[in-house]
Chains A and B, each alone.
Chain A
Amino acid sequence: MSGKHVAKNQPSSFAFTDENKKKIEEVLKKYPENKRKSAVMPLLYIAQRQNNNWIPLAAIQLISDMLGVTYIKVYEVATFYTMYNLAPVGKYFVQVCTTTPCMIRGSGKVVEVCKKHISEKQGHLNKELDSSWIEVECLGACVNAPMVQINDDYFEDLNAEKAEAIIKGFKEGKLPNIGSQSGRKGSEPIQNRTTLLKKNA
């Protein structure tokens, strides 16, 4: 989480696309007129989606003006939640889970791989400016630990080699199938099924 920082180079302005403006209209309809400021989170999310997965300060100001709240209020929300990025992230944005189950199963090695193949410091773009990585808290896939999230997808059952292969792969523009990388399906037992073996039990 300490990887979160606010970008120094900020675009001078930000405007929603027409398509997103329509989306925002839909979002605002869900809230009563006097509770419109509650729409701050979906709006930040729309802004992040539009702007290559990060939110510039200009967008924060635009959203505060749209909702009629002060800048600091939106800024507080944007800095509080780890899933809002306030600095540019790579086209391939790797989030490595380092919470206890993943840590026990070897997420430290995955972190080492990221440091070696992406960038030394988390939250910073690599030299080719196509990828970045951060450590995150539990992403809820503990059964298949250790795991990483790349953009919107989970890649599970990793070890150092598999993680390295994935990173090398996306640098060439290919990602493996999402989910477990050990060949098992979903979260089934790793040595095949051990229960419900008899058909008519």
Chain B
Amino acid sequence: MPKVTVDGIEVEVESGSTVLQACEAAGKEIPRFCYHERLSIAGNCRMCLVEMEKSPKPVASCAMPVMDGQVIKTNTPMVKKAREGVMEFLLINHPLDCPICDQGGECDLQDQAFNYGGGRSRYELNKRSVDQKYMGPLIKTHMNRCIHCTRCVRFSEEVAGVSEIGAINRGENMEITTFLENTIESEMSGNVIDLCPVGALTSKPYSYEARPWELNKVETIDVMDAVGSNIRMDSKGWEVKRVLPSINDEINEEWISDKTRYACDGLLNNRIDTPFIKKDGEFKEASWKEALNFINQNLENKKTFGGLVGQLVDLETSYAFKKLFKNVFNSELVDFRQKDILFDTSNTFNFKFNTTISKIDEADFILLVGANPRLEATIISSRIRKAVKSGCKVFSIGDPGDQHYKFKVIGNNISILDDLLFSNISESKLLKEAKNPVIIIGESVLKSEISKNVISSVQTLLKDINKLDGFNILHQSASNAGSLILGLQTENLQKVYDADVLYLLNADEVNIDKKNNQFIIYQGSHGGENSRIADVILPSAAYSEKNGSFVNLEGRVQRSYKASYPPGFAKEDFEIFNDIAKNKGSNHNYVSFDSLREEMINEHKLLGIYDEIQPSDIENLKIEKHIKKDHLIEINNIDYYQTNIVARSSKTMDECKSVKQQPRKTGTEN
């Protein structure tokens, strides 16, 4: 490994790294705009100039490979002068509109101009002006501010896989744009806002909303899909203003999907802030006491009780919900499935994403079985893209549509799995030779009639080549894996729906066929279709307004934190359960959230180990005998921007949806 001296400090860095990385290893901060750890090297901003011995000119450290014995200096007059010069050139055409710029306060250019700039401008001519570009409903552009670092161009090509942003014209006339100013066709497009080191690309929904120093920042996790991306929620008062990614190399690196980033305005709209009682077919506002008494009256003479847990419900709430049913209603009918789907809970291995997200990068053979990663779990799709770039082959059973990487559809019948097993088709050879095969099963093929068959076929297939680790289930909602661990999958789902009393815990994705005499309680944060058919509505805190924990699809338990507080009379879910129990004369009660969590962890030890993946008990895994079966795969259509109740309440998501439905500009209009 080469040894480099940086400002007299000797550091040893891996061969192939750059001088900039060596400087960082030595603890020296190098200013930069175009360089980004996760993108290719462009070397066009020149801000990272350092002095290198035996070189007559300063060198761009981000693009200079390290060599043994290099002597680098980062604090000489030459470096200072070079930085001042580069900064002066960058600022020549940069408008002085920091006071009205959304990036102000968290702007790389602002900070670096302050730290490394000359302090005043000598330029007296007109600045160039560039027209605003349209980049869809999510990204606001101020192209005057652009310094042409091309991070956004490289991101869209390398990470998002949609080469739609580019630099047109040349020299002074260079402009960043999309072809004919079309919307970017990617579910990751919002990340260019974080990448932009200036205020050229900013968030459209967040524009002029707040200043970064006014915001209350909470590191938490995302529940829009089952990936469990690490995020930071910024709130001002009650309102969650924006969501930003926080770095977790095991999960989301530093990207998040557009839904994660922009659905947060759904937390402000459509909220239930007071209890409602339905009288003569009309909802009337009520106090908590009235609502609880109303529930009590209606629970008399009811025999069966069913509970349905929604997509965004945390572990603690689900656990308390189950206990409420057991201790107070004396019922075991609590489920979380809002569609026809069946998981195998005999072993945690059977419903986890066992490859783990970070290991997808190393895969050399990926088979999607009825899965559409782009829309079901965007972050996983970006990982697959990464694998594809290093030579991985992707095949799919069932056609999921464009995934932004090349893949081959090898049929749309689950019998293809048998063909693979018995080497009837050419792909089975590839599978057998693969070092790290990954098979991803989507929820579309876990329908109760074929679920068992698909799981056993895939496991037999992988067992055959001794690569059982490649067995993956791609969950779609944040509460799935946790609910399965808590044992919320009942034997007969219909019994839950048909119960005399149906208690919906933020469950709004299923169409309930309400029976006569059925009493429906809807407890949730947002009003939706199912709150309309309910007899009583109880307001509760949304996921961002309470502490909790979620299990992501890998089986990783992560804690989410309170970033805001519930509106109006809304309460945390477990407090509502306490009230219902008390009103019914039961002594079922959780004193505090912590005691609830403690009890849950006592019962389910694994749920107390955070941020780690617990290995499944593969040795005792029983693979069911494999039966040949013919069944056509239909991949469920996913309305990406409307998958859960928060997203459905979000104006931004609604706008995204309507933009997607408009035909794209073709360039041949007028």
Contact = CB atoms under 8 A, between A and B. Distances in A.
10 contacts: A1-B171, A1-B173, A4-B169, A8-B670, A10-B667, A57-B180, A70-B164, A73-B163, A76-B168, A80-B168
Given A2-B173, A80-B168, A80-B169, A72 B178 contact: yes
Given A57-B180, A73-B163, A9 B670 contact: yes
Contacts of B136: none
A80 to B, nearest CB: 5
A13 B668 contact: yes
B668 A75 contact: no
Contacts of A61: 666-667
Contacts of A192: none
Given A10-B670, A73-B166, 4 more contacts: A10-B668, A58-B667, A69-B163, A70-B179
Nearest to A58: B668
A65 to B, nearest CB: 12
A80 B179 CA distance: 14
B133 to A, nearest CB: 12
A4 B168 CA distance: 12
Nearest to A82: B170
Interface of B: 162-171, 173, 177-180, 666-670
Most buried by A among B163, B165, B179: B179
A60 B162 CA distance: 18
A1 B169 CA distance: 10
A71 interface: yes
B166 A75 contact: yes
A17 interface: no
A12 interface: yes
A21 B562 CA distance: 64
Contacts of B177: 72
Nearest to A76: B166
Interface string A1-43: 1101000111111000000000000000000000000000000
Given A1-B173, A79-B169, A80-B170, A72 B668 contact: no
Contacts of A2: 173
Counting from the closest, the 4 A-B pairs by CB-CB distance are A72-B166, A57-B667, A71-B179, A79-B168
Most buried by A among B163, B167, B668, B669: B668
A72 B165 contact: yes
A70 B666 CA distance: 13
B217 to A, nearest CB: 35
Contacts of A69: 163
A145 to B, nearest CB: 23
A4 B667 CA distance: 18
A9 B670 CA distance: 6
Contacts of A73: 163, 166
Interface in A63-86: 69-73, 75-76, 79-80
Interface in A150-193: none
A23 to B, nearest CB: 24
A193 B666 CA distance: 60
A199 B357 CA distance: 84
Contacts of B163: 69-70, 72-73
Most buried by A among B170, B171, B669: B170
Contacts of A71: 179-180, 667
A76 B165 CA distance: 10
A68 to B, nearest CB: 11
Contacts of A11: 668
B164 A72 contact: yes
Nearest to B182: A71
B166 to A, nearest CB: 4
A12 B168 contact: no
Contacts of A58: 667-668
Contacts of A9: 670
Contact of A12 (B167, B178, B180, B668): B668
A176 B164 CA distance: 47
Nearest to B175: A79
A48 B668 CA distance: 17
Nearest to B178: A72
Contacts of B168: 75-76, 79-80
Contacts of A8: 670
B164 A76 contact: no
A71 B666 CA distance: 10
A34 to B, nearest CB: 13
A75 B169 CA distance: 9
A13 B669 CA distance: 10
Contacts of B178: 72
Contacts of B670: 8-10
Contacts of B170: 1, 79-80
A6 to B, nearest CB: 9
B179 A72 contact: yes
A73 B180 CA distance: 12
Contacts of B179: 70-72, 75
B83 to A, nearest CB: 29
A89 B666 CA distance: 23
A96 to B, nearest CB: 19
A2 B170 CA distance: 10
Most buried by B among A13, A58, A80: A80
A80 B165 CA distance: 15
Contacts of A57: 180, 667-668
Contacts of B171: 1
B185 to A, nearest CB: 10
Contacts of A1: 170-171, 173
A79 B667 CA distance: 15
A168 B286 CA distance: 89
A61 B115 CA distance: 45
A106 B480 CA distance: 77
A94 B666 CA distance: 31
Given A1-B173, A57-B180, A76 B667 contact: no
Nearest to A79: B168
A86 to B, nearest CB: 10
